[in-house]
Copies of this chain bind each other. A is one copy, B any other.
Amino acid sequence: MIIVMKPNATDSAINDVIQRVQENGLETHLSKGKQVTIIGCVGDKTRLADKNIEIMPYVDKLVPVTESYKLTNKKFHPSPTSVSVDGWAIGPETLTIMAGPCAVETEEQLLAIAHAVKESGAQFVRGGAYKPRTSPYSFQGLEEEGLKYMQTAKKETGLRTICEVISEDAINAAVKYVDMIQIGARNMQNFQLLKEAGKSGLPVLLKRGLAATIDEWLNAAEYIIAEGNPNVVLCERGIRTFETATRNTLDISAVPVLKEKTHLPVIVDPSHATGVYSYVPPLAKAAVACGADGLMIEVHNDPAHAMSDGPQSLTFENFRELSAELQPYVSLAGRKL
């Protein structure tokens, strides 16, 4: 933490700041310049968190020099983490593909899709049983019934299962039926839900919020891990910008940035990022090429009649083609499907 004083700061004001920092157990280092005086603070900066030094007289601004997340921070855990889900390790050795419908609609639909995505090489089937929808008049999901279909899909295909949860009740139900839970973009800073997800013990896929910085995202992951659950996978799914040609803007740079900042695995969801099925294959390849540990892709047996997000869903045929096209990229990345 560095404290920058205003140009005209008096010696007395500078001393007051130094005193408050030292009282809280940190060391200070003073740099006095002609234009500006800065005070370097070394020690446990969380002790200063509530001290409001930025509004002491003549303080211009505080500049943090270390991140507030620790458990997710690569500086303190240099080796990449693998998150194990029913025998499959999501991490640096593999390329994980989670595929399936946006919403679970019927048992038949889900089973058909699960069989199809398994044949094309996916290791997980995804499917929404609890759907966060912008309008209250849109389809909201089958809830626990949908989770049961996920369990059946697992029994029939052997695929691992992942479902979004939107409440403590949903987590309690999910624990009974699925292998992994997902926290969606709109709930990335629903801290109550993050804590519950941490307590559940299930592996968690944490999607990035639409307006979340990478630092906020890692702090959100910290909430889960701080509850004793280290099994967190991050999922970039597009951020909100001024551009409207795509539903969101896929921040693909987040992949290398995260690889530098955190040890957690990172997957990419090109379906939600773009909202347009024809953009999914090129962006899926791009994600693998730049180091992503996996992909989440919407696949539907009949996109034209899907109850949610049909326009961004691949058909079985589209998905089969994409899987085939991805193979050489996965090999180049030194991973295995």
Partner of A255, one of B55, B209, B282: B282
In the complex this chain forms, how many copies of it are found? Answer: 4
A136/B190 in contact, CB under 8 A: no
Chain A count of residues within 8 A CB distance of the other chain = 107
| Minimum CB–CB distance for A102 against chain B, Å | 11
Q: Mark A1-24, 1 if CB is under 8 A from B, else 0.
A: 010100100000000000000000
Question: Majority SS of interface residues in chain A?
Answer: mixed
Chain B residue numbers with a CB within 8 Å of A287 are 286
| Minimum CB–CB distance for A26 against chain B, Å | 9
B290/A213 in contact, CB under 8 A: no
Stretch at the interface among A87-95, A111-119, A121-129, A244-252: A244-252
Chain B residue numbers with a CB within 8 Å of A222 are 135-136
Q: Mark A59-80, 1 if CB is under 8 A from B, else 0.
A: 0110101101100000100000
B214/A243 in contact, CB under 8 A: yes
B29/A31 in contact, CB under 8 A: yes
Stretch at the interface among A33-41, A153-161, A172-180, A199-207: A33-41
A213/B52 in contact, CB under 8 A: no
B136/A226 in contact, CB under 8 A: yes
Partner of A2, one of B63, B250, B274: B63
Partner of A190, one of B61, B187, B253, B291: B187
A66/B36 in contact, CB under 8 A: yes
| Minimum CB–CB distance for A133 against chain B, Å | 7
Partner of A242, one of B136, B167, B241, B288: B241
Of all chain B residues, which has the CB nearest A332?
B328
Which A residues form the contact surface with B (CB < 8 A)? 2, 4, 7, 27, 29-36, 38, 40-43, 46, 49-52, 54-56, 60-61, 63, 65-66, 68-69, 75, 132-140, 166-168, 186-187, 189-193, 209-211, 213-216, 219, 222-223, 226, 239-246, 249-257, 260-261, 273-274, 277-279, 282-283, 285-291, 303-308, 310-311, 328-329, 332
- List 14 A-B pairs, Cβ < 8 Å: A2-B63, A32-B42, A38-B40, A49-B139, A50-B306, A63-B65, A135-B219, A186-B191, A213-B243, A241-B249, A249-B249, A282-B291, A289-B329, A328-B328
